[in-house]
Structure 1
Amino acid sequence: MKKAITLFLCLLGYGVVFAQVPTRINIKGTAIDSSNSVMPFATVMLLTPKDSTLVNFGRTDEKGAFEFRNVKNIGYLLKISSVGYLPLQQDVKPSDKAINDLGNLKLKPIAQELMEVVIRTAKAPLSIKGDTIEYNAASFKVPPGSTVEDLLRKLPGVQIDQEGNIKAQGQDVKKVTVDGKQFFGTDPKLATKNLPAEAITKIQVFNDKTEQSKVTGIDDGKKEKTMNLELKESFKKGGFGKVTVAGGTDQRGEFKGNYNKFDSKQQFAFIGNLNNTNQGGISWDDYQDFKGSSAFNWGDDADFGFSSGRRFIYFGEEDEGVSISPSGGGNRNRGFSTNGSAGLNYNYDTKKTKFTSSYYYNQSRTVLDSYAFRKTFLQNNESFDTRDSSNRVNFSGNHRVNLRFQKELDSLNTLIVISNSRFTDANNSYGSTQNYLRNSLLSSTTDIDNNGAKNSFGTVNSAIYRHKFKKKGRSFALSAGYNMNQADANARQISLNNFYNSTTVNEAIKNIRQLNNTNSITNQYKASALFVEPLSKKFFLETFYNTSLQISTVNRNVDSIFVKDEKETYGVVNELSRAYNNEIRYNRIGTSLRYSYKGLNLAGGLAWQHYLLKGEFINNKLTQAKGIVSRNFSAFAPNVSLNYDLKNNRYLYSEYNVSIQEPSVRDLQPIVDNSNPRYISEGNPNLLPQVTNSVSFGFNKFDPATFINLYTGFSYDTYKNQVIYNQTIDENLITRTKPVNITGGWSTGPYFGFGFPLKKTKATMNLNGNMFFSKNLTYINSVLNNTNNDNYNISMRLDLTPSDVFTFYGSASFGISNTKYSINTAQNQQVFNNNFGGEMNVKFPKGIYFNTKFNYRVYKNDRFGFDQKIPLMNMSVYKIVGKAQKAEIRFTAYDIFKRNLGVTQSASQNYVSQEQIQTLSRYFMLSFTYNMRGVKAQMRKRNSWD
């Protein structure tokens, strides 16, 4: 009995003692150096002793103090690092107190100890050096065979959306480099989607200088978020890459692969893809840089001077401009496409010579079967409906070559040569049955059977010479450029139009059988000069001059097709044929004064620019001149900008500018286009350049200790001589459009973003939103229509990465668009576009992995009874096989609910439209992937020590 009582009292005593030990505690301390001075802004991390997994992190404050609050009362490994000091590593044992004060923790300078001892420390998952964050890739586990994109999803402060776009510290990542070198131009996705995660040792995120500040040597305060991928040394020896082969139901298949070989001076990469699963080679956004549009970035396009004061030229895929734009790329929600692509990238980089090059070919054949509904609003609360069932078959093949050469001639002189070229071969067919209804009664019908082909060539070239004088800050730059675009297109247009209860329709409109051949060529010659003079250490004067000459020649020949005894004969249609020559001469001279000191950049400038538009057109090349166009336009373009680095990763920026955009060559051509006889367009040779006044400001903040990021901003634009398209709709519902100038339109809106960790390294929440309000003007049958659009959008994203066994990424976006019309208020409407998505990854025993993606789209417009809900789900399970862990077998089910449908709806100007396109639905795929280097090293358990 006494023994039982004694045992009971002992257990009770242990229980009381155990109950007094807290389960969660605060850990704090102070970082000092060898002279006992405090060390502000040092990086502090809590790691698990077993495998160095990151538990929490932060930075010391201005007094060198740090504190981790409400952490589990277990053993930890504490690591403190700072530039110029040896990392401090210390075991932290469980504490019997609520606050575990580690006291002063002393770091030793590298200069004293580096040659005396060998330090064995736990690998630091990340380090913070000013505005640069460096991640140790080995500290963030991803499934075998993962790409860099998968690895980035695990990094604190980095977000990847469903399209693969990257945000870091709340800002868009504009450029991804590999070992500091460009990879297929500056397109981030080509690196993140193709390079294996196992090849990367470090990821650095930092704010890079703009091209302008690199040329002038003056910090303009503008930053470009950049990410650098540092390769493991083992991957710089020999090549690496992988190949995937897949086959599935409904005769679906895919082949893709990549191969890379890098060293300290050279990079070589190959990527390829072939499929009939709607997986396009590269989309429009993916190609913004690689396709050659990087030639239009400041410094590359060689148009010196403050940005936005220069008029913007969009070199489109049409005949009117110099084009380096894509014609391919698949969309999984639009039609059925077969796609192929292949690309080569080669870089050579030394201290004085940098050469980057890439070649890319992509082709796509797409079949689109669609049904579209459109309601067009007229004056006096009238309207008519269009119902269109159509079939399109489009093919496009594109070759692109991009070259950039930079040579440091000596310490003061640099030469840069850039050349981007594109060749496109395309053909298409279009068949459509259209019904036009007024007051629910059939008014007319149109049957269209068109086909055509086009090939085009474009090249954009510039050379930049820059010289730095011995006087610090003084520099001079000179550039020259030549751009060219040539196109040859032909089309066969057949349409049969029936108009009921109408006797006023021209017979030429009722039955159209035409051949249309258009040849065009545009040449542009340009030059720029820039001189920078330092007035003092803080003030700089920048003077610039730009000039260009653009010459466009268009020959458009239209023939009528006559069929007799099953034979075709042709006759020229003079009223539709045109030969057109156009010249646009442009000159701009300006100066700006910049103040740059301690992060504050304030600049104000004024430019004078002059346009001379000259043109001559005739009915066809065999007749004499019929019309001449001659327009002069001059304007002053001011620019004021403020960029302020408030330190500690806080940035404030604001800008006011006036931009001027001349009309496109197509809009200037007095050519009638009746390829769709129900929508006939004609150019206007009397157009004036459009003037846009823009005001914007914003604020960004990122706290590297808490990984909380915040950004907010606002913009306001007004338009003078805005180019809009007047519409004249006759009693037969034939719409004729013509571009004209109008003043009074505007657009404005605020935006914000807020990201914060719910639990560091485990869960992150990001909230984003914007509002956009605009006023658009157009004339409908000579009556001015004001269309006001109010758009509200908010989105949120939750990233859960608790372990390498389970991850979840969820997102939701809500969009509301209110549209109001002045000429037909009864048709005012509200459109909802909502999207919900999620992705889950689970690791099961024996190396089996499971992935599922779910997307739920909601389209709603109560005014017209449109309510579409589309749930989409894909699932896959895969396993790494083989002793060398080099192969993967994966089974994937696409669109399990068989609900995939391409749906779009929009409201603009005087109409609302809805379109549904049949697209690739449920199918199953089995794939085999072979990794040339294997993936075993990626998944091995990390040691706690280097």
Structure 2
Amino acid sequence: MKKTLLLTLMACFLLSLAGAQSIKISGVVVDSTGTPLQMANVIAYQKDKNLGGFGITNDAGRYQLQGLKKDSTYVLKVSFLGLKTIEDTVRNVQGDLVRNYVMYEDENTLDAVNIVYDMPVSIKGDTIVYNSDSFTNGTERKLGDVLEKLPGVEVNEDGDIQVEGKTVEKVMVDGKEFFAGDSRLATKNIPADAVGKVEVLKNYNNVSQLKGLGNDEDRIAINIRLKEGKKNFWFGEITGALGEGGDELRYQAKPKAFYYSEDVSLNILTDFNNLGLQSFTFQEYRRFVGFNRGNTRSTGSSIDIGAGAGGLLNLQANRAKEIESKFGAFNGSWAVNKKLNIEAFAILSSVDTEQETIASRTFTESGVQENTEDRSFQRNQIGLFKLGADYKPNADFSLEYDGQINLSDVSQFNDFTSAQEGVVRDIDQNESQKPITIDQSVNLYYTQSEKNIFAFEGRYVDAEEDPFYNAILDPEVDNAGNDIEPFTGTLGLDAANPYDINQEKLVESTKLDAKADFWRVLNKKSNVNFTVGTSIVNQDYNTSIFQILDDGSRNDLTDAQFGNDVNYKFRDLYGAIHYKFITGKFTITPGVTAHSYKIEDTQLGNTNELDFEEILPDFNVRFALRSSENINFDYRRTVSFTDVENYALGTIFNNYNALFSGNNQLTGATNDRFSLNYFNFNMFNYTNINAGVTYSRQTDAIQNSIVIDGINQESALINSPFANESATGFGRFSREFGKIRASVNANLSWSTFNNIFNGNATESENITHSYGASFRSNYKDGVNFDVRYNIAFNNSDNGGQVNDATTQTITLNADWQINKAWFFDVDYDLNLFDTSANVDNNYDFLEAALYYNKPDSKWEYKLAASNLLNTEALNRNTFGQIATSTSFYTVQPRYVYLQLKYDL
């Protein structure tokens, strides 16, 4: 069946390629003086007004129209702002043609503006405007489907958007942020039929006063312009599904509603399903709780207090034994008047996840092999609530406020079996926590004059976390077959069978970041930026370990080494200066930041202080070859610090076989990072090239010092005397050939780092290089395809333990617009994995869906099936310094369901 499927999809691919043989019309567009016109629009229409092709002239005035049909008649329209539009009829095209045009002044400028606006692509300064209907074929369902049809735009599997190789940082709808600008929620939820135009905003800065002062050239946002019929009216869809899978009833209920007017926008998203479709993933959650609210330069120093992590599992959608998801979200924006805008969102998510994993691990130091079976259930309930306001009374002053509350209620139970050397141990683990984080920020920007600009950015975080851990485990067994205490007596537990060990933690954290900036604009090509600021952290950390004995009584481990009562303080005072100047095609920005650090911890009746200073330089050079082609070099030195848990000296449980203790002598890890990137997007032939190389060297890295006894690990942290190094390189080339977009890519990564095992330094070196190719079509009718192939080679050397692995991934997608009402879609993924240790892990997935949507009907019917091949488990292999492992985890069985959708 797999071979038949592959051959069928490849046949569709080859047939589409054969159909790609087409006619090309090219030429040159000049003005009345003979000067080439750059960015002129050339469009070819057929008699039925269908778009045959379009092009934009390059700096030499050249254009080309590809994908035109033989024996057809086209009307060519040439337009340029302020010049008279040209119409030229080309009849019965038989082969490639050359048509040159001369354009003259047009007194009716307004008509020219309207014509430019209706072009498939128009460029206005730093904004590229795509008319979505010029690129879509009507089979698109969400915004992500529309965006990936646009030249120079890509959407990855997670919903992240890239334009000309650069990641989009914000998505807006009619100028209003969609859920704080989150691109993933936007691409997966905004209906495709609501999208009128897509505006790509290059050199983006959220604050107009700061535009051009810093290095904004690679910052990109997207604004979605809705179709006229979608404004001042509610629109959306109601989706419901019922089916069967795994001998259970499967369901989905997914209403969505949107309202946009000049002053008010409302977005309501919901999704309740047990189809394994996560509406709100771990990556999305982290973006909402960890995003940077500032608009100015980073300080080069960072400390992560870990607040608001919530404990969510990082799962692939539809890749667990069972996933049940409940999701509801509201986002609203209200323009109170021309000066004040208020925004708010509320996101509620509950995910129940059941996993079943069988694994085999071999520990490098001891040579012990452990075989495990893990059956786990996790419930993640989260709530995110935000209220924000922007006050801009005039062009010279703006004030922003954001307040956000993050709540979580997370619990997990593991039924775990561990077998080693013929001895089987049953282990139950229970974990839970209910963290709460209040996160507020205030940003102020003031333009005193054309030469003097001020900014203040402040953020205050107040968080509380209370993780609880419980392990109920059988005693360990010594070489003589006798029961012994876990960790061979290290903990000093009372004898019991089983051992019931409990750990309580409470972490209370506050963090204040405050920064003031002043820019002195020297002239149109240079400015100097002065910065002063501080970062202050205060944390209280309490832990305790206790044992529940066989008779139900409680045994508290009162030894100081098994409890923590720590107050931790971190303070960073800094000042910085940056000078930006433009000379020719070069934009150069050197800078330096001086930091004064103080770290203080109070525990075990003693106070320990660390005071030190760092000078952190940074340097950026940008060489603009053309408006859409540039080379960027960046160097910066940064220092990263860790939080109270890693400074606390008392021992804690990480899991049933791992103990951990901190080190209050840790300093920050210093990282020197060099990067060189090249970006080139050619609108003339839709060629997109981006490549880059990055090298990092980290000194005083915070690394583990681990003592391993059998499968048990006791670890502490140190500032490593050895440097960690890494280097990465990538290259990607894509081009459109008529209706087909082809791309090739290559990636290389190398890293080396060190840990201490049983007192001996162990170096790990990893090298991975991968290569891929893809072909995607965008025909108006018939069959379309998306074919991707990637092969990755990995070599890891962990202290002399060498492993080589090869992974091949083949992804095939084909869809067929059968007629005006029927649409068929099929997706196939094949993964092939093998290692030098003769481990072969292969698995594949097949999904298919048949849609029926009668033209002009609000109802759509869908018959769908996931995991048609009924793949039972995924295989994974990891090669680490501590252990190498092979794991098999169960995935959801075949689901078949009928879905109905009604468009509001």
TM-score by length of 2: 0.90
- 1:325, distance to aligned residue in structure 2 (A): 8.3
Bigger mean CA deviation after superposition, 774-783 or 211-220: 211-220
One-letter amino acid matched to 1:854: Y
Q: How does 1:793-942 map to 2 (within 5 A)?
A: 793-822=770-799, 825=800, 827-845=801-819, 847-863=821-837, 865-881=838-854, 885-932=857-904
What is the count of residue pairs matched by the alignment?
A: 868
Work out whether residues 643 and 654 of structure 1, in 8 Å CA contact, stay in contact via their aligned partners in 2. Answer: yes
Change (3 A) 1:604 1:60: closer
Shift of 1:89: 2.8
Query: 1:92, CA displacement in angstroms?
Result: 1.6
Partner residue in 1 for 2:340: 353
Check the 8 A contact 1:43/1:127 in 2, yes or no.
Answer: yes
1:818 CA displacement: 0.2
Deviation at 1:234, TM superposition (A): 1.4
User: In 2, are the aligned partners of 1:727 and 1:779 still within 8 Å (CA)?
Assistant: yes
Q: Corresponding residue for 1:293?
A: 290
Q: 1:234 to 1:611 in 2, by over 3 A?
A: same
* C-alpha separation in 2, matches of 1:414 and 1:604: 28
Larger Rg: 1
State the Cα deviation string for residues 169-218 of structure 1 (Å, max 9, x = none). Answer: 33333322211221011211212221212112111224132458853651
Task: Say which of 39, 42, 63 aligns to 1:41.
Answer: 39
Structure 1 distance, partners of 2:79, 2:595, is 54
Is 1:609 aligned to residue 592 of structure 2?
A: no
Map of 1:230 onto structure 2: 225
Number of the residue aligned with 1:400: 384
In structure 2, distance between residues paired with 1:166 and 1:145: 16
CA contact (8 A) 1:493 1:675 kept: no
Paired residue type of 2:42: V
Alpha-carbon separation, structure 1, partners of 2:82 and 2:377: 63
User: Residue 269 and residue 599 in structure 1: after superposition, are their counterparts in 2 closer, same or farther (change >3 A)?
Assistant: farther
The 5 Å alignment of 1:150-299 reads 150-210=145-205, 215=210, 218-249=213-244, 250-289=248-287, 291-294=288-291, 296-299=292-295
2:702 is matched with 723
Contact persistence 1:539–1:596 (CA under 8 A): yes
Asked if the contact 1:878/1:889 (under 8 Å) is kept, the reply is yes
8 Å Cα contact 1:810-1:839 kept in structure 2? yes
Q: What's the counterpart of residue 120 of structure 2?
A: 125
Shift of residue 899, structure 1, vs aligned partner: 0.9
Q: Deviations over 1:550-600 (max 9, x none)?
A: 110112122221232xx4445354342221111111111121211135663
1:593 alignment partner in structure 2: 579
8 Å Cα contact 1:456/1:488 also seen in 2? yes
Secondary structure of 1:208's match? coil
* Higher mean displacement: 795-804 or 25-34: 25-34
Cα pair 1:755 1:767 within 8 Å, conserved: yes
CA distance in 2, matches of 1:796, 1:604: 38
Q: What one-letter code is carried by the residue in structure 1 that aligns with 2:791?
A: F
Q: Note closer, same or farther for the CA distance 1:61–1:678 as it changes in structure 2 (3 Å cut).
A: closer
1:409-459 CA distance string (max 9 Å, x none): 3332221112222011111112211123xxxx44x6543212232111012
User: 1:532·1:541 contact (CA, 8 Å) conserved in 2?
Assistant: yes
**2: distance between equivalents of 1:278 and 1:434?**
29
Residue 556 of structure 2 is aligned to residue 571 of structure 1:
yes
Q: Does residue 1:520 correspond to 2:494, yes or no?
A: no
SS across alignment from 2:119: coil
- What does residue 769 of structure 1 align with? 746
Does 2:324 match 1:334? no
Match of 1:6 in 2: none
Equivalent residue number for residue 560 of structure 1? 547
Q: Secondary structure at the match of 1:149?
A: helix
- 1:310 is aligned, of 266, 289, 300, to 300
Aligned partners of 1:279 and 1:330 also within 8 Å: no
Aligned-pair identity in percent equals 18
Q: Decide which moves more: 765-774 or 911-920.
A: 911-920
Cα distance in 2, alignment partners of residues 821 and 189 from structure 1: 37
Q: Is the 8 A contact 1:76 1:91 kept in 2?
A: yes
Q: 1:669: Cα distance to partner?
A: 1.2
Structure 1 segment 372-383 matched on structure 2, within 5 A = 372-378=359-365, 383=367
Root-mean-square deviation (CA), in Å?
2.8
Q: CA deviation at 1:478?
A: 2.0
Distance 1:164-1:607 versus aligned 2 partners, 3 A rule: closer
> In 2, Cα distance between the equivalents of 1:195 and 1:276?
22
Deviation string, structure 1 residues 899-918 (Cα, Å, up to 9, x no partner):
15233322233432222211
**Change beyond 3 A, Cα 1:355–1:434:** same
Query: By how many angstroms is 1:686 displaced?
Result: 1.4
Matched ranges for 1:697-708 at <5 A = 697-708=676-687
Output one character per residue of 1:224-281: Cα deviation in whole Å (capped at 9) or x when no partner.
Answer: 2322211012110210010111111121111112100001222100000111122112
Q: CA deviation at 1:142?
A: 3.4
Q: Cα distance 1:69–1:768, how it changes in 2: closer, same or farther (>3 A)?
A: closer
1:273-304: per-residue Cα shift (whole Å, max 9, x none)?
Answer: 11112211222333454x2322x2542xxxx5
Contact 1:368 1:392 in 2 (8 A): yes
SS in 1 for 2:229: helix
Hey, what does 1:580 align to over in structure 2? 566
Q: 1:846 to 1:48 in 2, by over 3 A?
A: closer
Normalised TM-score (structure 1): 0.87
CA distance in 2, matches of 1:672, 1:355: 47
Q: Aligned equivalents of 1:524 and 1:121: distance in 2?
A: 51
1:667 partner letter = N
Matched, 1:413 2:397: yes
Structure 1 pair 750–458 and aligned structure 2 pair: CA distance change class (3 A) = same
In the alignment, is the contact (CA less than 8 A) between 2:305 and 2:643 conserved in 1? Answer: no
Q: How does 1:540-689 map to 2 (within 5 A)?
A: 540-564=527-551, 567-574=552-559, 575-596=561-582, 600-618=586-604, 625=605, 627-674=606-653, 676-689=655-668
Q: Is the 8 A contact 1:608 1:637 kept in 2?
A: yes
Asked if the contact 2:81/2:116 (under 8 Å) is kept, the reply is no
Distance 1:677 1:65 in 2: 68
Other-structure match for 1:134: 129
Matching residue of 1:386: 370
Task: Indicate the residue corresponding to 1:9 in structure 2.
Answer: none
Aligned mates of 1:838, 1:178 — CA distance in 2: 32
Structure 1 CA distance for aligned equivalents of residues 233 and 874 of structure 2: 44
1:186 maps to a residue whose letter is: G
Distance 1:727 1:925 in 2: 50
- 1:42-79: CA deviation from partner (whole Å, max 9, x where unpaired): 122333332332335241543x3445589646422212
Q: 1:879–1:546: structure 2 CA closer, same or farther, 3 Å change rule?
A: same
1:689 Cα deviation (Å)? 0.8
Q: Measure, in 2, the Cα distance between the counterparts of 1:700 and 1:451.
A: 49
Q: Are 2:523 and 1:533 equivalent residues in the alignment?
A: no
CA shift in 2, pair 1:68/1:519, >3 Å: closer
Distance 1:68 1:368 in 2: 53
Secondary structure, in 3 states, of the residue corresponding to 1:590?
A: strand
Q: Which amino acid aligns with 2:626?
A: K
Match of 2:462 in 1: 484
| C-alpha contact 1:579 1:617 (8 A) present in aligned 2 | yes
Structure 1 window deviating more from structure 2 (162-171 vs 336-345): it is 162-171
For residues 673 and 645 of structure 1, what CA distance do their matches in structure 2 show? 53
Q: Could you tell me whether the CA contact under 8 Å between 1:322 and 1:483 is conserved in 2?
A: no
In structure 1, C-alpha distance between the alignment counterparts of 2:119 and 2:848, rounded to whole Å: 35
1:445–1:498: 8 Å Cα contact kept in structure 2? no
Letter paired with 1:312: S
The CA deviation string for residues 895-939 of structure 1, in whole angstroms up to 9 with x for no partner, is: 11111523332223343222221120112111111111xxxxxxx
Is this contact kept in 1: 2:842–2:875, CA < 8 A?
Answer: no
